[in-house]
Amino acid sequence: MKLELQKLKNEFLENLEKATDSNVLRDLELKYLSRKGELSQLLRRVKELSLETRREVGEMANIVKTELQERFDHMKNLIDGKETQGKKIDITLPGIKKPLGHFHPTTLVERELEDLFASLGFMVCDGPELESDYYNFTALNFPKNHPAREMQDTFFIDKKNAQGEYDLIMRTQTSPVQIRAMKQFGAPLRAIVPGQCFRSEATDARHEHSFYQLEGLMIDKNISFADLKGVLLAVLRKLYGPETQLRMRPKHYPFVEPGSNGECTCFLCKGKGCRVCKYSGWLEILGCGSIHPNVLRAGGIDPTEYTGFAFGFGLDRLVMLKYNIDDVRLFHSGDLRFLEQF
Ligand code: DAH
C-alpha cells in the first residue's frame, strides 16, 4: 500500500505540474482529492491492514494527503491569479446595486419650508441646542419664577454658573435664536430657525422629549399684525393649496404682544371636518404674535423705531399631518419599516 501511495502521489504531482488552466485543475481535484477520489479510496482501505502496518501506513497517508492538498492549493492560486490578471472587464454587465439612503420625513418638510421662506427673503439661522436659561427664558420676557416656564420643563445641566445658578438647559423652543439673530444681524431682519427642542415629557403618541420647531421673525419699520397674517397665509397656501384659510385666536406667549395661535383649514377635508382635524375643520399648527418691546430691547433693537412679528411652527406636527403619521415616537425610533416609506 505504501507503494500505491507513492505512485499516486507521483502521478498527481506530475499532472499538477502540467496543469495550465482551471478546467484541468478541477478534473485533477475530482480524480484524486475529492471524497470519491483515488486518494480517499486508498485511505479507506487502510483499516483493512494488520494492526502493526496500519499505524505506519496511516501516518504516511495523512502526510501525503496534506502535501497534495497544499501543492494543489498553491497551483490553484497561481492559475487563478494568471487568469484574472489578463481578463477584460465586461462593462456591459449590470453592476451591484448599493442601497441608497434618503432624507428623514422631518428633513423633507423642513427643506420645503426653507425654500419657501428663502423665496420670501428670509435667511435660515441656526442656534445652540444646549442653551442658557437667559436666552431660552429671561431674554424672551419669561422673568424668573414666571408660571409660563412651568409648561416648558426641560433637562437642566448639572453645573452652576458664577452666581451659583443652574444656567445651562436643553432649549425648550427655537425662540432663543430670535435674540441671537437680533444681536448678530440687527434690524431690519427676516429669518427662520428650524431646529430640535427638548422637554421633560411623559411621552405618548403626541409628545416626545425631543421634537422640531420652525421659528420665524421679521423686524422692520412699520411691521404690523397684518404683515404677519399675510406672510403666514402665503406660506400655508403654498403648502396646502390656494383655498387654505387662516384662523387666529388670542393666546398668551410672554415674548409676543398681542399673541395668537394659528389654525389653518384642514388640508384633508378642506374645512368640512374629518378624523385628522377631529371634525373641527381646523388644524392648530403654530403660535405667533407681534414681538414684545422687552424682547426687541433684549436683542439690542429700539422698539420705538422698529416693530416686528414672530411665529413658531410645530414642525413634527406638520410632518405628522402631511404624511398622516399617528405617533410622534416613530420619528426617533430608527425603525426602517417606518423610514423606508418616504
Ligand atoms: N416657542 C413657542 C412654543 O414653543 C412657539 C411660539 C409662539 C413661537 C409664538 C413664536 C411665537 O415665535 O411668536 O410654544
Q: What is the DSSP string of 258-316?
A: EEEEEEEE-TTTTTS--TTTTTSSEEEEEEEEEEPHHHHHHTT--TTT-EEEEEEEEHH
Mean pLDDT on 187-204: 95
Task: Supply the residue whose CA is at minimum distance from atom 8 of ligand 1.
Answer: 312
Q: Which helix (H) or strand (E) holds 76?
A: helix 51-85
Query: What spatial distance separates the first Cα and last Cα of the chain, rounded to whole Å?
Result: 71
Mean pLDDT rounded to a whole number for the chain? 91
Mean pLDDT on 207-221: 96
Instruction: Indicate if ligand 1 lies below 6 Å from the C-beta of 262.
Output: no
Task: Supply the residue whose CA is at minimum distance from atom 5 of ligand 1.
Answer: 312
Confidence at 152, pLDDT banded by 50, 70, 90: confident
Residue partners of 188: CB distance under 8 A and separation at least 6: 219, 220, 221, 306
- Predicted pLDDT at 86: 67
- Predicted pLDDT at 148: 81
State the Cα–Cα distance between residues 151 and 252, nearest whole angstrom.
12
Task: Report the nearest atom of ligand 1 relative to the CA of 178.
Answer: 12
321 CB burial (10 A radius; 0-12, 13-18, 19+): buried
Q: Contact 240/285 with Cβ under 8 angstroms?
A: no
- Check residues 64 and 193 and name the one with the higher pLDDT: 193
Instruction: Indicate if ligand 1 lies below 6 Å from the C-beta of 232.
Output: no
Q: What is the pTM of this model?
A: 0.72
- Residue 175 Cα to ligand 1 middle (Å): 6
Strand partners, 313: 214, 286
State the Cα–Cα distance between residues 155 and 171, nearest whole angstrom.
8
pLDDT tens digits, one per residue of 88-113:
778 888 888 888 899 999 999 999 99
Instruction: Indicate if ligand 1 lies below 6 Å from the C-beta of 142.
Output: no
Mean pLDDT on 50-73: 89
Nearest by Cα to 172 from 142, 145, 204: 142
Instruction: Indicate if ligand 1 lies below 6 Å from the C-beta of 110.
Output: no
Confidence at 147, pLDDT banded by 50, 70, 90: confident
Residue 278 has pLDDT above 90, yes or no: no
- Residue 281 Cα to ligand 1 middle (Å): 23
Confidence at 52, pLDDT banded by 50, 70, 90: confident
E strand intervals along 134-173: 168-170
- Residue 298 Cα to ligand 1 middle (Å): 17
- Residue 218 Cα to ligand 1 middle (Å): 14
Residue 218 has pLDDT above 70, yes or no: yes
State the Cα–Cα distance between residues 124 and 115, nearest whole angstrom.
10
Q: How far is CA 160 from the centre of its chain?
A: 33
Task: Supply the residue whose CA is at minimum distance from atom 7 of ligand 1.
Answer: 287
242 CB burial (10 A radius; 0-12, 13-18, 19+): exposed
The domain ranges of the chain are: 2-83, 105-130+174-339
Instruction: Indicate if ligand 1 lies below 6 Å from the C-beta of 288.
Output: yes
Mean pLDDT on 127-155: 91
CATH architecture of 105-130+174-339: 2-Layer Sandwich (3.30)
C-alpha cell recorded at residue 152:
416648558
State the Cα–Cα distance between residues 301 and 307, nearest whole angstrom.
9
Nearest by Cα to 175 from 235, 215, 126: 215
Instruction: Indicate if ligand 1 lies below 6 Å from the C-beta of 256.
Output: yes
C-alpha cell recorded at residue 30:
475530482
Residue 315 has pLDDT above 90, yes or no: yes
- Residue 265 Cα to ligand 1 middle (Å): 20
Instruction: Indicate if ligand 1 lies below 6 Å from the C-beta of 253.
Output: yes
Instruction: Indicate if ligand 1 lies below 6 Å from the C-beta of 260.
Output: no
Mean pLDDT on 176-202: 96
Percent share of the chain, pLDDT over 90: 59
Residue 185 has pLDDT above 70, yes or no: yes
- Check residues 239 and 127 and name the one with the higher pLDDT: 127
- Predicted pLDDT at 126: 97
- Residue 312 Cα to ligand 1 middle (Å): 5
